Amino acid sequence: MKRSGMTGQRLAAIFLMGWLLLDYPILSLFTRSGEIAGIPLLYAYLFGVWVLLIALMALVIERMRN
Amino acid sequence: MGKRILIVDDEPNIVISLEFLMKREGYEVDIAPDGEAALKALAEGRPDLVLLDVMLPRMNGFEICSRIRANPAWREIKILVLTAKGRDSEIARGLGLGADLYVTKPFSTRDLVAQVRRLLGGAT
Amino acid sequence: MLQGSVIVLVSFAYLGVLFAIAYYGDKRSEAGRSIIANPYIYAFSLAVYCTTWTFYGSVGRAASSGIGFLPVYLGPTLAVALWWYVMRKIIRISKTYRITSIADFIASRYGKSQALGGLVTVIAVIGVVPYISLQLKAISGSFAILLHYPDIVMPAKVVARPFFQDTALYIAMTLAAFTILFGTRHLDATERHEGLVAAIAFESVVKLLAFLAVGAFVTFGIYGGFADIFQRAEESPRLQALTTLSNAGGSYATWSFLTFVSMLSIMMLPRQFQISVVENVDENHLGKAIWLFPLYLLLINIFVLPVALGGLMLFDARGVDADTFVLTLPMAQRKEALALFAYVGGLSAGTGMVIVETIALSTMVCNDLVMPVLLRQRWFRLNERRDASALLLSIRRGAITGILLLGYVHFRAAGEAYALVATGLISFAAVAQFAPAIFGGIYWKGGTRAGAIAGLSAGFAVWAYTLLLPSFAKSGWLPAEFLTGGPLGSALLKPQELFGLAGLDEISHCLFWSMLANIGTYVGVSLSGRAGVAEASQASLFVDVFRHTQGFERARIWRGSASVQDLLRLIGRFLGPDRAHEAFVAYARRRGLGSLDDVPADADLVQFAETQLAGAIGGASARVLVASAVHEEPPGLDEVMDILDEASQVRAYSRELEQKSRELEAATAELRAANTLLEELDRMKDDFISTVTHELRTPLTSIRAFTEILLDDPHMHPAERKRFLGITVKETERLTRLINQMLDLAKIESRSAEWHTTELDLNEVIRESAEATSQLFRDRNVALALALPQSGPRIMADRDRLMQVLINLLSNAVKFCPPREGRVEIRCSAVEGALRVDVQDNGPGISPSDHQTIFEKFRQVGDTLTGKPQGTGLGLPISRRIVEHFGGRLWVESDVGRGATFSFVLPLEAPAAAGGEPARKAAGTVE
């Protein structure tokens, strides 16, 4: 059953954003050396974006339920 | 001693063919066109084998079969049921009522003769 | 302390726990109280994606390519965002059309093609065998390593060991046994295994906890936290390179391709399809899964790089394989319990994958490869087997064993050449070949079967050439020149630098060319050909599934003739005419039509009618009733074979059973009454068919018997021979008459007979009929008298049919009249608005109790005097139908010993004609 079409579109938007952020060329911006709080830049960036994506998806879906 | 066969069928042409076949084999033949006549013929001259059609007017073949088996004097009579219905349920029913063999129409004359001979245990 | 026996015991204990959970889950499911009807369980079960590849291999990969291990998990994270559209559609299609595997899905979409199903199965098996062998490698390796606790000894080379001493073989056999126990205890029509899903969800938790435990231990126990590890790693340039990516060696391209291929694998892997689609209980569970599953992936990957770095630093140059760090690090630190926990985690990851993947593959092998072949070979026997479930189960068990053996063989033959992850990626690339056919299948109606077969074959061929064969070359089964110089020395065809495309790692290279070949041929062949009828209808069903279903359980393409009014009347009988009318009007509106009259009587409407009725009397009964109200055209051979295939497979049989038992439970008293009615109709139909069979076989018996008699006796007396031949001819005529009349009756009843209605002079017709039967009268010496009015009244009727009726009545009359004394009279008179014809005879008469019987098919009466009548028993029913067609009535007045009078009336005005012009000349077909 197709619920809110907005959910699907939002998720698709998250997909696009995610792919942009996690692939080249944007990825190459973070491949230089450096650290954040002792954690290498790329590592922190990747996991950070990852958490962000998951959080956004959770938000979109849980919001739809209400 | 000549064996005696009772043919119970209401289709005249089929009766003619069966009669010819059995006579050709040397058996003696009685004919009954329906259940009543069949029981009468059984009482008067005990046949050794009955060629029994299922689709008969008024009393059908199964009933005749069970009546034959119910009579202790007729226990030895072999019953060969002939029918155009070939459903498994029919076959099971027939054999369950005490028929010795079940042959579907159209039958092979050679087969039928062989089966009759087998049931009667050897040629005359 | 960690002796072999302890490890074995723990292993079996763990498997036992898994089995117990599965057993419990199945029992609850049977009781109707499913424990997996829960989005969290669904989300966790998806984590079967993480195998020993994730548990051990990621660390190994990270140790050599650093962060390059991650795309395999980022890909699925991105892909599930699209699941809202894509997966929902796939699940809806699969539930609606009862699809039970990925091969089934593809085969079904492209016209239920068995060739395609078989092809997909073969590709799946070949593609996934390496993946299974890597699980065996990891489990046997971890076992061997743990055995040497506290020393760290890498397992000896596989080929050095004879195979009966090879633990991997025993592990493979044990896994086969457990898989058989998990998945083939009985057959489920929907191919769902609720217990298995529960067990998988459990083991997902176990492996996550195990990995987190080891990861936390290494990061916080051995070192002082993330920052600490990374700082120390930076002291070595080699290690530092691992914490980031550079474009050296084409790693950018690798990253992209890996992300892409894992996006596909999360759906195309047979085990993923099985768990996420087939085992899915509720579409709405997708929501939670879309963010919970990526969260799981994130958690299980946080510590991968730290562990890799830690291992590299601790085991510096000691020759410890990085694939084993997760186990060897706790071992090196003498943490016995943790090492055992890690071992169990790895075992968990591996067995979960093997069990689900093998079950999925064995289902495909059984349903889409073996069964179709068996069906075509000796389908008689298969049809006669009352219980084919034993056969099916044996095939599946055989398949499971075979696949695991294949996995073992691959392990022995090629296990050393690759690290865990590299082996797994080979399988990823293989199953990625399904993607064009599937995505094309659900979004593009133009995708044809030929296109799918071409695309799959091309992609698979390229995959085999660029990835599989090279893997054999690297293991020594093919000469190395094959790789370096290309076959026959042709540099352009070098398997891993095809057409000179260098600079890509082997997976990316393979993916590029195989996808190009696959998509190119798929689209090209689809566009250049034309879809067959079956394909086109399946395409529409798949692509438009949301429009067709809205939750309906099944749809099928179906041809037949239905009348909207017939269906409306039928539904009205059960729901009440008003409710039925309301429902139909609503349906019309839903289809965007103005009124009920605009509704075409098509499959959609029939589907709708069935569903409405099913609400009242159950699905199975509804289907039969609707089918009886509607005249279905006999399907073509293809459809028949499909139906036969479906029917022969226990799958369909179980489905029917499952549905019937569920609906029966919810039945009301009305349902029972409707069922009784149905049984009555069914029995009557059966009686009719068996009567027809009997009627046809009776003359055939005489014909055959006499023909054989004549053949057997060449010396028969000529007179007798003549007699017998005569009988044969007569019986042939009888049979012909019977068949003709039955066809006639069937045509009239199904309203497909042709009627040539013209204006007639009834007197003339009567005279003609009398003429036609005059010979009969002369033969029996029966008198015939005509009492007709002066001027012939004219009516609208079909001349031939009318004569048929009159001749029938006349010949009946003459048959039952006594010879010489018999007298038959035909009268024609005018009554109000109609003409009446009477045929009276002075025969033995018909008792009133038989007045209705004689008009029934095949019924004949009056055998006391004349012996068995030679008629067919169909003459009167046909005559009655004919008369009724013209709006008249045919009946008999008679009593025993008083002769019989058959009468019929024909209205002067034909009922179908518009009022006002009864004498209008009309030729041609009416109705």
Q: Which chains touch B (3 or more CB pairs under 8 A)?
A: C
- C565 and C548 in a common domain: no
CATH number at residue C722: 1.10.287
**Does the CB of C853 have a partner CB in chain B at under 8 Å?**
no
**Does the CB of B86 have a partner CB in chain C at under 8 Å?**
yes
Instruction: Sort out which chain C residues have CB atoms less than 8 A from A58's CB and list them.
Output: 291, 295
Q: How far apart are CA C365 and CA C406, in angstroms?
A: 14
Cβ of B11 and C698 within 8 Å? yes
Cβ of B106 and C693 within 8 Å? no
Size of interface B-C (CB pairs under 8 A): 71
Q: How far apart are CA B26 and CA C75, in angstroms?
A: 89
**Does the CB of C697 have a partner CB in chain B at under 8 Å?**
yes
Backbone CA torsion sign across C321, C324, C328, C330: positive
Of C113, C5, C68, nearest to C534 (Cα)? C113
Backbone CA torsion sign across C144, C149, C154, C160: negative
Whole-complex ipTM: 0.93
- C830 and C870 in a common domain: yes
Q: Which residues of chain C have pLDDT under 50?
A: 380, 383-384, 386, 550-559, 633-637, 640, 644, 647-648, 863-866, 913-927
Q: How far is CA C208 from CA C10, C214, C347, C862, in A?
A: 18, 10, 12, 88
Residue C870 pLDDT: 59
Q: Is C38 exposed, middle or buried (0-12, 13-18, 19+ CB in 10 A)?
A: middle
**How close are the terminal C-alpha atoms of chain B, in Å?**
7
Region A15-32: mean pLDDT is 86
Nearest to C294 among A33, A54, A65 (CB): A54
- C867 and C842 in a common domain: yes
| Residue that is written with structure tokens 């599934």 in the block | C545
- C653 and C599 in a common domain: no
User: In terms of residues, how long is chain A?
Assistant: 66
In a domain, B69, yes or no: yes
Instruction: Sort out which chain A residues have CB atoms less than 8 A from C77's CB and list them.
Output: 18, 50, 53-54
In a domain, C122, yes or no: no
In a domain, C175, yes or no: yes
Q: How far apart are CA C156 and CA C153, in angstroms?
A: 9
Q: How far apart are CA C340 and CA C775, in angstroms?
A: 105
Residue C246 pLDDT: 65
Cβ of C701 and B14 within 8 Å? yes
Tokens of C721: 């021979």
Cβ of B109 and C705 within 8 Å? yes
- C438 and C347 in a common domain: no
Tokens of C214: 């080891």
* Residues C704 and B111: beta-carbon distance below 8 Å: no
- C298 and C239 in a common domain: yes
CA of B48, closest CA in chain C: separation in Å?
23
Burial letters C195-207, b for 16+ CB under 10 A, else e: bbbbbbbbbbebb
**Does the CB of A37 have a partner CB in chain C at under 8 Å?**
yes
Nearest CA in chain C to B85: C694
**Does residue B106 have a cis bond before it (omega within 30 degrees)?**
yes
- C289 and C140 in a common domain: yes
* Residues C214 and C335: beta-carbon distance below 8 Å: no
Q: How far is CA C245 from CA A30, A32, C442, C665, in A?
A: 9, 8, 37, 62
Q: Is C669 exposed, middle or buried (0-12, 13-18, 19+ CB in 10 A)?
A: exposed
- C449 and C407 in a common domain: no
DSSP calls for A31-59: -SS-EETTEEHHHHHHHHHHHHHHHHHHH
Amino acid symbol at C163: F
Instruction: Sort out which chain C residues have CB atoms less than 8 A from A38's CB and list them.
Output: 226-228, 230-231
- C97 Cβ neighbours under 8 A, 6+ residues apart: C108, C541, C542, C554, C555
Q: How far apart are CA C226 and CA C767, in angstroms?
A: 113
Q: Where among C535, C552, C569 does a domain terminate?
A: C552
Instruction: Sort out which chain C residues have CB atoms less than 8 A from B108's CB and list them.
Output: 704, 708
**Does the CB of C866 have a partner CB in chain B at under 8 Å?**
no
Residue C112 pLDDT: 77
Instruction: Sort out which chain B residues have CB atoms less than 8 A from C732's CB and list them.
Output: none
Residue C460 pLDDT: 96
* Residues C782 and C815: beta-carbon distance below 8 Å: no
- C442 and C471 in a common domain: yes
In a domain, B124, yes or no: no
Give which of C234, C244, C255 to mutate to test A binding, by max A Cβ within 10 Å.
C244
In a domain, B48, yes or no: yes
**Does the CB of B46 have a partner CB in chain C at under 8 Å?**
no
Q: How far is CA B18 from CA B25, B28, B51, B52, C705, in A?
A: 11, 12, 9, 11, 8
Amino acid symbol at A21: L
Residue C345 pLDDT: 95
Chain C residues touching chain A at CB-CB below 8 Å: 67, 70, 74, 77-82, 84-85, 88, 226-228, 230-231, 240, 243-247, 252, 255-256, 259, 283, 287-288, 290-291, 294-295, 298, 302, 305, 546, 550-551
Task: Using DSSP, state whether C834 is helix, strand or coil.
Answer: strand
- Classify residue C156 by its DSSP letter: P
Instruction: Sort out which chain A residues have CB atoms less than 8 A from C246's CB and list them.
Output: 31
Pairing status of strand C560-561 against strand B78-83: unpaired
Residue C161 pLDDT: 64
Of C807, C814, C820, nearest to C900 (Cα)? C814
Helix segments in C367-448, DSSP class H: 371-377, 379-384, 389-414, 420-431, 434-443
Q: How far apart are CA C634 and CA C559, in angstroms?
A: 8
Domain with B44, as residue range(s), is: 4-119
Q: What is the dihedral of CA C680, C682, C688, C690, to 10 degrees?
A: -120
Cβ of C551 and A1 within 8 Å? yes
Question: Total structural domains in chain C?
Answer: 5
**Does the CB of B124 have a partner CB in chain C at under 8 Å?**
no
Nearest CA in chain A to C227: A38
- B60 Cβ neighbours under 8 A, 6+ residues apart: B35, B54
In a domain, C744, yes or no: no
Cβ of C67 and A42 within 8 Å? yes
CA of B113, closest CA in chain C: separation in Å?
11
Instruction: Sort out which chain B residues have CB atoms less than 8 A from C863's CB and list them.
Output: 57
Cβ of A27 and C81 within 8 Å? no
Instruction: Sort out which chain C residues have CB atoms less than 8 A from B10's CB and list them.
Output: 868
Phi/psi of residue B103, each to 5°? -120, 130
In a domain, B63, yes or no: yes
In a domain, C740, yes or no: no
Phi/psi of residue C288, each to 5°? -60, -40
Domain with C616, as residue range(s), is: 557-635
Nearest CA in chain A to C226: A39
Residue C648 pLDDT: 47
Residue C42 pLDDT: 93
* Residues C52 and C350: beta-carbon distance below 8 Å: yes
- C714 and C660 in a common domain: yes
Point out which residues pair with B104 in neighbouring strands.
Answer: B83
Domain with A55, as residue range(s), is: 5-65
Question: Total structural domains in chain A?
Answer: 1
CATH number at residue C761: 3.30.565.10
Q: Where among C531, C552, C573 does a domain terminate?
A: C552
- C581 and C478 in a common domain: no
**Does the CB of A42 have a partner CB in chain C at under 8 Å?**
yes
CATH number at residue B105: 3.40.50.2300
Nearest to C85 among A8, A57, A65 (CB): A8
* Residues C257 and C503: beta-carbon distance below 8 Å: no
- C450 and C348 in a common domain: no
Question: Total structural domains in chain B?
Answer: 1
Task: Name the helix (H) or strand (E) containing C20.
Answer: helix C4-30
Nearest to C78 among A18, A35, A61 (CB): A18
Q: How far is CA C700 from CA B101, B107, B113, C157, C872, in A?
A: 21, 9, 18, 77, 14
Nearest to C82 among A1, A15, A38 (CB): A15
